[in-house]
Amino acid sequence: MMSAFVVVIPARFASTRLPGKMLADLAGLPMVVRVARQAAKSSATSVVIAADHEDILHAVAAHGEKGLLTNPNHPSGTDRLAEAAELLDLPDDAIVVNVQGDEPLLPSGLIDKVAQQLVDHPTASIATLCHPIHEAAEFFNPNVVKVVFDQHGRAMTFSRAPIPYARDAFANDKATLPAGLPAFRHIGIYAYRVSFLRAYRGLTPTALEQFEALEQLRAMWHGYEISVAVVDEPPPAGVDTADDLARVRAWLAANPDATS
């Protein structure tokens, strides 16, 4: 039986590559509403959209979803999540799963899995997911975030660099990955303990996170444990560009049952 957890969806109105994408129409629903309804298929006790703009809040309310208006000036989604936890008056031991507002096709099973990972690892403050990398092009792509973890699933580091680096094999061939290389791509879904979210805003930013542009490195640098679960396949890609939006619209048109 799943332990109780809450899904919070940080939703920013501004977007550099696709302005206003949270309200983009997807088969008759604003994208953020579709994300919320997909997340509601998980075992979450509630799903809340943490918006930074009244227009998002109005759209959310019009479709019967729960929303909160948060400070528009938060530097990160994690900061917005922390404010939402305060507004919801969640206790320190509560678990919050952060679902990105631009991932309308995220399988609900992954939400349950990341929440359960945190429940199963009581020394961790955060849990996240990854999947195996099979292609060298993906492994060497700096836009693909890699994670290395220990025998207990505790994250050792995250990086855009190709890690772990197979020194001898790559000296001869970088076109293929050597058999057995433990290469894993990070999936950007997180479960947090509320006690960590309360502490997060007091954590000093670090050089590691700034150079890598990876926010989770701040938590690790300050000594917080991140537990990592492995899944077989990556989730469908989110919506960052107009092409992504067209792709998701085409998928929903071809899968009308998913719109119910």
Residue 18 has pLDDT above 80, yes or no: yes
pLDDT by residue (tens digit) across 141-162? 999 999 999 999 999 999 999 9
pLDDT of residue 76: 83
Would you call 111 helix, strand, or coil by DSSP?
helix
| Number of other residues whose CB lies within 10 A of the CB of residue 53 | 18
Is 132 within 8 Å of 44 (Cβ atoms)?
Answer: no
The predicted model scores a pTM of: 0.93
**Tens digit of pLDDT for each residue in 102-122?**
999 999 999 999 999 999 999
**Joined tokens for residue 58:** 């109005």
* 52 three-state secondary structure: coil
Q: What percent of the chain has pLDDT over 70?
A: 98
Of the candidates 54, 63, 58, the one whose C-alpha atom is nearest the C-alpha of residue 35 is 63
CA distance 43 to 48: 14
Cis peptide bond prior to 164, omega within 30° of 0? yes
Instruction: Tell me the CA end-to-end span of the chain in Å, nearest whole number.
Output: 26
User: What confidence tier does 14 reach under pLDDT thresholds 50, 70, 90?
Assistant: confident
Chain centroid, CA 220 distance in Å: 17
> Which residue do the tokens 């899944």 mark?
231
Whether the pLDDT of residue 258 is over 70: the answer is: no
